Amino acid sequence: MTNMNPYVPFASEILDVIKHTGKEYTFRMAFKGEVKPGQFFEVSIPKFGEAPISVSGIGDGFVDLTIRKVGRVTNEVFEKYKGQNLLLRGPYGNGFDVDLYKDSEVVVVAGGTGVSPVRGVIQALSEMPDAQDKYVIAGFRSPDDMLFRDDLKAWDEKLKLTLTVDGAPEGYTGNIGLVTKYIEGLPLRDPANAKAVVVGPPPMMKFTIIELQKKGFKDSNITVSHERKMCCGLGKCGHCRVNDTYICLDGPVFNYEFAKNFVD
């Protein structure tokens, strides 16, 4: 019976820990099975709780979970090290369909930890033959908050990356400004048929979409991923519901044409 119980987590070995910042690590977890970028796992720490963490990378026999240390559960996760196990449930949710982004101009706008769920998407874009038509605007709060530094470097060589920070100490030479600032100037040939992926904190998503619409993007060409409180991942606990949609079941990835009707 026990293995039929979807609330029972399975043990997964920590294959590696990649430290991005003091409070953001990627845990490379042993996992065999089907999983898509944008899906999420419940990381389950007995006696501390569970936290929904999106898949930030997928490889042969592993998934990457990029975790921000912000609470009871994630504090505990940060105590773990390579070789130990974490308990997981999942993957849950629908995830991104990367094939959608072949053969067209694509803009990915991601803010902060919102980069995690689209990391797999960006990776795929960077490997596409028309990678030069793929634009990524990644924003972080400050230079110290940047995630996936190595990836960023690698992507920068393959596709068109704009890296920006909300603020930086004096002497910082990179871009300073919100991600929304860089949309207007994107040298797109055909914005009406270009595709966009937007993931990040709710205000960032809202204003990014406004900029994309101004630029000429169709709502139906915009994909978003939503973050909500997801206790169960199974459509039972109710916390993630918006309108008649359960983010954990039907999302977290949505076409904006649909998601624009969400009202919290």
The verdict on 160 binding other proteins (CB under 8 A) reads no
Given candidates 49, 98, 154, 181, which one binds other proteins under the rule CB under 8 A? 49
Cβ 197 to other proteins shortest distance, Å: 20
Q: What is the DSSP-derived secondary structure letter of residue 12? A: E
The verdict on 3 binding other proteins (CB under 8 A) reads no
DSSP calls for 110-129: EEGGGHHHHHHHHHHHHTST
* Edge-to-edge order in the sheet of strand 222-225: 175-176, 160-165, 134-140, 106-111, 195-199, 222-225, 253-255
3-state SS of 95-110? CCCHHHHCCCCEEEEE
Stretch that binds other proteins, among 48-56, 127-135, 140-148, 212-220 (CB under 8 A): 48-56
The residues, any chain, with a CB within 8 Å of residue 121's CB and separated by 6 or more, are 37, 38, 96, 98, 101, 108, 197
The verdict on 260 binding other proteins (CB under 8 A) reads no
Stretch that binds other proteins, among 25-33, 119-127, 170-178, 237-245 (CB under 8 A): 237-245
Stretch that binds other proteins, among 49-57, 102-110, 189-197, 217-225 (CB under 8 A): 49-57
Of 104, 114, 133, the residue nearest 206 (C-alpha): 114
The verdict on 7 binding other proteins (CB under 8 A) reads yes
CA 84 to chain centroid: 25
Given candidates 24, 27, 201, 254, which one binds other proteins under the rule CB under 8 A? 201
Residue 11 or 192 with smaller CB distance to other proteins: 11
- Positions touching other proteins (CB under 8 A) are 1-2, 4-9, 45-51, 68, 70-71, 74, 87, 201-202, 227-229, 231-232, 234-239, 241, 243-244, 246, 248-249, 261, 263-264
